[in-house]
Structure 1
Amino acid sequence: MVLTGATAMASALPEDGGRFDRPREGFAPASTVLRGALPEQAGLDPEPIRTAERQLDDWSRADAADGHPLFSGAVGMLVHNGLIVDTHATGGAVRYADGSGRELPRSRQVPMRADTIFDMASVTKLFTSIAVMQLVERGRVDLDAPVARYLPEFGVNGKRSITVEQLLTHTSGLEPFLLLWRDWPDKASRIKAVMNVAPETEPGSTYTYSDLNLITLGVLVERLTGSTLDKVVAERITGPLGMTDTGFNPPASKRDRIAATEYQTNPRRGMVRGEVHDENAWALGGVAGHAGVFSTARDMAVLGQSLLNGGTYAGERILSEGSVRAMFTNYNLGFPGDDHGLGFELNQLWYMGGLTSTVTAGHTGYAGTSFVVDPKSSSIAILLTNRVHPSREWGSINVARQAWATALSRAMAVLPAEGRTFWFSGLGDEGTATLTTRPITTSGRYSSVRFSAFVDCEPTDPLVLEASTDGTTWKPVTVTATGLGAPREAVPFLAGTGHRTWWSVRAELPRAENLTLRWRFTTDGNYTARGVAVDAITVTDGERTLLDGERRPDAFEAVGFSLHSR
């Protein structure tokens, strides 16, 4: 039989292509290079992706949030198994005339395109971190060494013990930023101010995200290479990877493709376009370790795939596999919630959404960018916006960041634990979904309920099994779960992200007449992940089966849950 088109491409995929419930170990094949495909050709359900596209369109409309768009425009890209399954451009790259939100005439506006170039803001920190790790590989830098070994002027005012690793993991104790552009007159004095600053806290004692950490590392890279940071990034990262639209201080020839950022009055820069938005990076000549890189969605996808491949792409190696593992390993175990590898943020539900796991790596940028790399599903989610155009005061886009990454997670399949279907709820913020049985009578002797649960939700968004004898008063039932990532003891609810496997769950039931069981999934005001699923529900009373959910799905009343086959 000759296979053609989508069938032929699907047959070439790994067996776990399109599967969310088969988390991977290790890297993708080093030979993996990006190519385009339809979601269906990658084994994905296109509907969650199309829904997310419509959300991006809606958020770019004039009245999307408090009388203005959530962002002027966006370009989103989704990659799975090396296949670019979606590229979506919406809204305006240049839309406003000034900081008040007065729109330009249509003829002067510039729409977003797939190849629009964005100010990546703090995503720049990843490029600086990669440059540092390249020096580690060459034996030029020791992660455990004090920074003062390489930058003697840094080792003042209580900073002599701060290590390179502490800068990469934001545990140095340095404050978040200084107003370098305002309080010091030139580049030399601004760099000296960073070298002179004293820690706010004891080095190693706290996690504080700080631009000063990466500004310092940028200086370290320049000192040890004898070259400027922009040239190091070009020669050792973007050049080998063929990222032709990525770098500092983009040339005037590319200005027409660059998304505008903010209309700045202090400093008086007017509408910023083609220059870095961050004032400190601008004051340092547009080249700094914390901000200044411009890029496109496609170029960032190449970087992401090189990391999924273990540091190599199209025959060019920028990092060893060991370095990539270190960048994707949590060094901040002592600071729960602030998981951080060497340069990369890890396990951050607030923008990684349904792709969140302990090894999911990425970064965001203040100007409105986010970059998520998920090794467990060999996936990349990139959302680039100019959310500060025309004003940073228009607010957060975290809801869009989550939605875009979550769309890819929901496009991947979770197959039923048993049978052909399962109950699923992908509830949004501040909602409740319930799955309720008909009344049953239990003797209390060996009465129990068993079910399977696939749980991917914020720790504060619980899936609770409850019981009632009057249909009004509900009490939680303590459950015991087994499986990868399951709670180690009996618990009153189930929650968590990243394990991506079905749990087997069991609970003892009391003696009761007219006992009703209810699975309740409740979300708070922030941070939703892929959602929760319940399957293979069986209630037994000794040798008797009182309820078989596989045979009788009609025995349940579902509100916010629905039957899914994947």
Structure 2
Amino acid sequence: MTEPHGTHEPRFASVHDALRRNLASGAELGASLVVDIDGEVVLDLWGGFRDEARTTPWDRDTITNVWSTTKTVVSLAALMLVDRGELDVHAPVARYWPEFAANGKEHVEVRHLLSHTSGVSGLEQPAALEGLYDWDKTTARLAAQAPWWAPGTASGYHATNFGHLAGEVIRRVSGKTVKQFVAEEIAGPLDADFRIGAAEADWPRIAPIVPPPPAQFDPEPGSVMARTLSGPAVDAAIANTAAWRHADIGAVNGHGNARSVARMLSALALGGTVGGVRLLGPDTIDLVFAEQANGTDLGLGIPLRWGIGYALSRPDAVPWVPDGKVCFWGGWGGSVILTDLDRRLTISYVMNKMAPGIIGSDRSTTYVDAIYRALR
């Protein structure tokens, strides 16, 4: 089962070979990889196994938990409301969510939530991961907190609470939970096999997550990084539980594959319309590239450049993302979604065996590099 299935144009033979090698070596357990150019899928590959025992093949319709790649879909949902004139990224969050003005947050703007610069990058202690399953309680706690740094002055990755922050704004504006909005306004119209959480009917085709090696973080006690990563801390194995799959955690519990993620996020590369379905207009897409922060991220401790909803290219810090009108993000363990507007290109990679590291992995770097070499 080390030979990838699917299709690819001949010029992407090196990408196919890279995936085959990683499957053969065991670096990959199961994975899917998609390249879309100008609305045409020119590479759609999958292979390997869903389970560590290597008894169940990863097939065309296998899905898995994509961790923070989920955030890119929630950002898309928020931008759709902006495009409709129902949400203003420069307005205070409190215009839509009045309780959020508490404790000095009355001037925090919607763009600060979407660019991880709000100062609210996690929950104050006590913070248990299971607490995120209670939407009303979690959003009430976030609304009551004071920011951990001056909002708008720096980014601090909103690791586990991004979906509750942006999602509560989406709920207040649209009347729909973020899970509902994604299902009814994005995945449904695009026939994209993606949802926040996972329906029980789909559980048999989920590839369980294989956790990464233990992280080598040693943040200074009391720092934003320490508070973020413990507010709450996440054990990757929880992604394989029923409670996790039932929950609405728009930061980290989306389920899909490379094909479905590419289908939705290609909207950014294609001027906002996918398969005749209009999600965004060009002016709204331009907002993505309005730089909001550029420096060491307080939550992750690495240099990042943030636009509205997405990270922007910064080759000195993330060398596998090229310069230009490119936005991206990914999930813990290595999944990646990248949209290159200059080339009308979307790259999506999803896997179940998590790699060490924060953004991308050796595997995702190999695939993205091979794709760009093929394009040259």
Same fold per TM (> 0.5)? yes
Map of 1:455-494 to 2, 5 A cutoff? Answer: none
Q: 2:9 aligns with which of 22, 35, 39?
A: 39
Name the structure 2 match of 1:417.
none
Name the structure 1 match of 2:209.
261
* 1:294 aligned partner, one-letter code: H
More strand by share: 1
Aligned equivalents of 1:327, 1:73: Cα separation in 2: 32
Q: 1:408 aligns with which of 363, 371, 376?
A: 371
Q: Does 1:216 align with 2:165?
A: yes
Name the structure 2 match of 1:22.
none
Name the structure 2 match of 1:501.
none
Q: 1:240 aligns with which of 189, 201, 214?
A: 189
Which secondary structure does the structure 2 equivalent of 1:52 belong to?
helix
Name the structure 2 match of 1:204.
152
| 1:275/1:291 CA distance change after superposition, 3 Å | farther
Name the structure 2 match of 1:326.
287
Name the structure 2 match of 1:343.
309
Name the structure 2 match of 1:378.
344
Contact 1:372–1:382 (CA<8 Å) still a contact in 2? yes
| 1:353/1:93 CA distance change after superposition, 3 Å | farther
Aligned equivalents of 1:304, 1:184: Cα separation in 2: 26
Name the structure 1 match of 2:68.
122
Contact 1:311–1:321 (CA<8 Å) still a contact in 2? yes
| 1:181/1:360 CA distance change after superposition, 3 Å | same
Contact 1:328–1:341 (CA<8 Å) still a contact in 2? yes
Aligned-residue offset at 1:371 = 0.8
Q: How many residues align?
A: 341
Contact 1:250–1:294 (CA<8 Å) still a contact in 2? yes
Structure 1 runs not aligned, ≥5 long: 1-35, 62-69, 96-103, 389-393, 414-566
Map of 1:170-181 to 2, 5 A cutoff? Answer: 170-176=116-122, 179-181=127-129
Aligned equivalents of 2:128, 2:142: Cα separation in 1: 9
Q: Does 1:189 align with 2:159?
A: no
Name the structure 2 match of 1:317.
278
Which secondary structure does the structure 1 equivalent of 2:102 belong to?
coil
Map of 1:57-456 to 2, 5 A cutoff? Answer: 57-59=23-25, 61=26, 70-95=27-52, 104=53, 109-176=55-122, 179-181=127-129, 186-211=134-159, 212-243=161-192, 245-262=193-210, 272-273=239-240, 275=242, 286-332=247-293, 337-349=303-315, 354-388=320-354, 395-396=356-357, 398-413=361-376
**Cα deviation 1:74-126 (Å, max 9, x = unaligned):** 2122233444333332332121xxxxxxxx3x5xx322223211212212212
| 1:234/1:412 CA distance change after superposition, 3 Å | same
Which secondary structure does the structure 2 equivalent of 1:175 belong to?
coil
% same residue = 25
Q: Which has the larger radius of gyration?
A: 1
Contact 1:352–1:405 (CA<8 Å) still a contact in 2? no
Aligned equivalents of 1:185, 1:89: Cα separation in 2: 32
* 1:400 aligned partner, one-letter code: R
* TM-score, structure 1 as length reference: 0.55
Contact 1:177–1:210 (CA<8 Å) still a contact in 2? no
Contact 2:211–2:353 (CA<8 Å) still a contact in 1? no
Higher normalized contact order (CA 8 Å, seq sep 6+, divided by chain length): 2
Which secondary structure does the structure 2 equivalent of 1:371 belong to?
strand
* 2:269 aligned partner, one-letter code: L
Aligned-residue offset at 1:310 = 0.7
| 1:256/1:352 CA distance change after superposition, 3 Å | farther
**Cα deviation 1:449-474 (Å, max 9, x = unaligned):** xxxxxxxxxxxxxxxxxxxxxxxxxx
Contact 1:351–1:370 (CA<8 Å) still a contact in 2? no
Aligned equivalents of 2:78, 2:131: Cα separation in 1: 29
Aligned equivalents of 1:269, 1:171: Cα separation in 2: 25
Contact 1:129–1:343 (CA<8 Å) still a contact in 2? yes
More helix by share: 2
**Cα deviation 1:280-310 (Å, max 9, x = unaligned):** xx6xx51133122211222122123322221
